[in-house]
Structure 1
Amino acid sequence: MTVEREIVTGTDAADAARLTAERFVRFATERGLVEPREDAPAETHIAVSGGSVATSVMPAIVAAADGAGVDWSHVHVWFADERFVPRGHDDRNAAAVASVLRGAKGFVPTHLHSTLSSEIGVSLDEAAAAYERELRVNVPPRSRTPGALPSLDLVLLGAGPDGHTASLFPGRDPEAIAGRVVVAVADSPKPPPERVTLTFDAIDAAQRVWAIVTGEGKAEALRVALTPGVDARTSPLGAVRGTDETLFVVDEAARTALAD
């Protein structure tokens, strides 16, 4: 069964971040991260992307979560994608996210799962393979079906003006990475060229997928993504789905190309 996509609209990017943060608090409460319950999951696994998700949305989430009393000690944070550059490089998504999480009450630093970086002597393919192994070891699937993929509890995605999300770009054959959890991207059209990314299948195995899309420059990408029947080759953003929830948090500027 296909989960219907929900669209929530804020007035601007800051308001969209606020709405995402409020939604996260509800999610955390349901997971027993505010008031512990005996039946609450032992761990919660979320994945985040870079860009404005890392620099604007995550700070809003941490502030709202701390205000609500969320216990971050049971939360593991992964990356929807990462740039294969040296640790500490400005292009690394991990730097911005780690900085934000230092202020999250109870967050355990070892629960931030970053990909291997380029300066330690591993290849791009080795970094992708290592990240996939780590995900498979730590994130359980939702079913016992042989070959079932790890099921993250929540994936937070951004989008580019071309409709890419994570490091999944238009014009590429999704069947070439079918069944994989993580792949190396050696020729990203957006610099830096080398990246490690979750695949469509890995994102679609997540229970909740939230895409935060703001700004007039993303309006056409949002319109295409929400076009019925759009495929992954045309719009990676439009192809991703969560098993339980698919949410688009947008602002008024990004909605300008949508029909009323």
Structure 2
Amino acid sequence: MTDNGSAKQVIIKPDADTLASYVATRFVNRIVKRVAEGKRMHVCLTGGTMGGAVLRTAARDERVGQIDWSLVHFWFGDERFVARDSDDRNEKQAREAFLDHLDIPAENIHTVASSDDGLDLDAAAIAYADELAQFAPSDRSETGPWPSFDICFLGVGPDAHIASLFPDRPEISVTDRATVPVRNSPKPPSDRVSLTRPVINSSKRVWMVVAGADKAAALGLALAGASYQSVPAAGAKGRRRTAFFVDEVAADQVPPQLIDREY
């Protein structure tokens, strides 16, 4: 299969560890290239087992210490509205795995307010949208009041949710704002803040990293063109590239014609 703009690519690796290493190398490659050109870069991170594994592996790349991190900004696709020091925070996982190992200005790490910051859930979502708007490009022909992420990482749940956009819930259909508060999430913790689909889909590259046999059905539906309302992962796409990086057991239901050997 050849690259065709935002056409979906599926890259399969034998196991989760090999997959994390492969994605981490390409992640650092992209940062090195962008920074070498003197360009600012926005990256959207995800939580979950594979999100953490990719970041921990990237942190061990010897090139990390040579990058000018002042040009790189990190964001989060969603966040659990819990205390700042909670292990449930995607921010905490990302800091421990990767961000705390970087010589990066503190203001380049953009986080969602926590439940102990003095804001309620709705105000936290609005505050995050306001911060995104501060980095919106002057030309918004392909985006809205938010930055266009060079890479947007996403995990995919067994129910095919992405970020905190769950199947058959109203948040997946929101298109008039950058963020949404999520209450009574099907997956605990119950309160969350999530980016909306327009923000995700204005990214240049969407990278979904998926491992485990429990993800096979969701991946198959996402690639089969299912409705994004019921299969949110089916509605995620980058403007330039959309890639599913998967291990062999997760790829059980992937049609052979969709498989790429390399990214």
Structures share a fold, TM > 0.5?
Answer: yes
Q: Which residue of 2 aligns with 1:136?
A: 133
Paired residue for 1:87, among 74, 84, 93? 84
User: Within 5 A, what are the aligned runs for 1:49-68?
Assistant: 49-64=46-61, 66=63
Paired residue for 2:232, among 229, 236, 241? 236
Contact 1:77 1:112 in 2 (8 A): yes
Contact 1:54 1:93 in 2 (8 A): no
State the alpha-carbon separation in 1 of the partners of residues 142 and 54 from structure 2: 35
State the alpha-carbon separation in 2 of the partners of residues 164 and 131 from structure 1: 21
Q: Which residue of 2 aligns with 1:245?
A: 241
State the alpha-carbon separation in 2 of the partners of residues 208 and 146 from structure 1: 13
Paired residue for 2:215, among 208, 218, 239? 218
Q: Which residue of 2 aligns with 1:46?
A: 43
Cα deviation, 1:144-199, whole Å, max 9, x if unaligned, reads 58955431221111111000010010112467411221111012100001000011
Contact 1:141 1:148 in 2 (8 A): no
Contact 1:7 1:248 in 2 (8 A): yes
Paired residue for 1:20, among 8, 20, 23? 23
Paired residue for 2:73, among 73, 76, 88? 76
CA RMSD of aligned residues (A): 2.1
Q: Which residue of 2 aligns with 1:183?
A: 180
| Structure 1: gaps (5+ residues) | none
State the alpha-carbon separation in 2 of the partners of residues 139 and 54 from structure 1: 25
Same amino acid, percent of matched pairs: 36
Cα deviation, 1:36-89, whole Å, max 9, x if unaligned, reads 34xx31x21101111124421111123236368433232111100000001101
AA in 1 matched with 2:228: A
**Length-normalised TM-score, structure 1:** 0.89
State the alpha-carbon separation in 2 of the partners of residues 212 and 147 from structure 1: 25
Aligned in 2, Cα 1:185/1:2: closer, same or farther, shift over 3 Å? farther
Contact 1:139 1:152 in 2 (8 A): no
SS of the equivalent of 2:9 reads strand
SS of the equivalent of 1:118 reads coil
Q: Which residue of 2 aligns with 1:9?
A: 12
State the alpha-carbon separation in 2 of the partners of residues 176 and 221 from structure 1: 19
The Cα shift of 1:217 comes to 0.8
State the alpha-carbon separation in 1 of the partners of residues 59 and 191 from structure 2: 29
| Structure 2: gaps (5+ residues) | 257-263
Q: Which residue of 1 aligns with 2:95?
A: 98
